[in-house]
Amino acid sequence: MLHSYSVDLSWTGAGAQGTTTYTSYGRDHVLTSGDKPPLAGTSDPGFRGDPARWSPEDLLVASLSQCHMLWLLHLAATAGVVVVGYEDAASGTMRIESAGHGQFVEVVLRPRVVVTGAAAKDGTAVTDATLDDLHHRAHEHCFIARSVNFPVRVEPAPLRIAG
């Protein structure tokens, strides 16, 4: 089965001079897809981008974080583990070489999960080991993590029980 994704990009940073020089144009652009809200994009601030807008690098790290969370929630529901809170403090590291080429060398996800009660719906205990297994399986299933050529590490915080 194949899934397809379409995104429209419109560059808004031409200004009066366009790409006359490296400093004459803005990096701002807008991403749209169907009826979704537009997403204000730019380049990394280190490359003359607007720090108030999303860069491709931000979006790559965000995609990995979102994908992991969505798989973890799916697997938790299937396992009868009731998750009521999820946060992540994801970070990525990119290396830029002297010629200006660059690549990500790793992304680290730091999810913090909150569950209700200390037991799953079937009565089995929900422990850090239970959560570690869910994180491991979510990482194995994440389409985005499976598609990148750099390590994506998952460093979950200890399990938190609501209440």
Q: Is residue 1 part of a domain?
A: no
What integer is the mean pLDDT of 66-76? 96
- Candidates 133, 28, 152; CA nearest to 90 is 152
Q: What is the mean pLDDT of the chain?
A: 93
Q: What is the pLDDT of residue 46?
A: 87
Same domain, 39 and 62: no
Q: What is the pLDDT of residue 155?
A: 97
Same domain, 40 and 108: no
**pLDDT for 156 beyond 90:** yes
Q: What is the pLDDT of residue 125?
A: 87
**pLDDT for 74 beyond 90:** yes
**Tens digit of each residue's pLDDT (9 = 90 or more) over 108-122:** 999 999 998 777 788
Same domain, 138 and 83: yes
Q: Is residue 3 part of a domain?
A: no
Instruction: State which residues form the domain around 37.
Output: 8-47
Same domain, 78 and 101: yes
What integer is the mean pLDDT of 86-103? 93
Sign of the dihedral through C-alpha 57, 63, 64, 65: positive
When comparing pLDDT for 124 and 61, which is higher? Answer: 61
**Tens digit of each residue's pLDDT (9 = 90 or more) over 142-154:** 999 999 999 999 9
Domain count across the chain: 2
- Candidates 29, 27, 26, 49; CA nearest to 40 is 29
Structural tokens at position 94: 């990119």
Owner of token pair 């990482």: 139
Q: Is residue 2 part of a domain?
A: no
Q: What is the pLDDT of residue 117?
A: 79
Same domain, 78 and 149: yes
Same domain, 62 and 123: yes
- How far is it, in rounded angstroms, from Cα 143 to Cα 64? 9
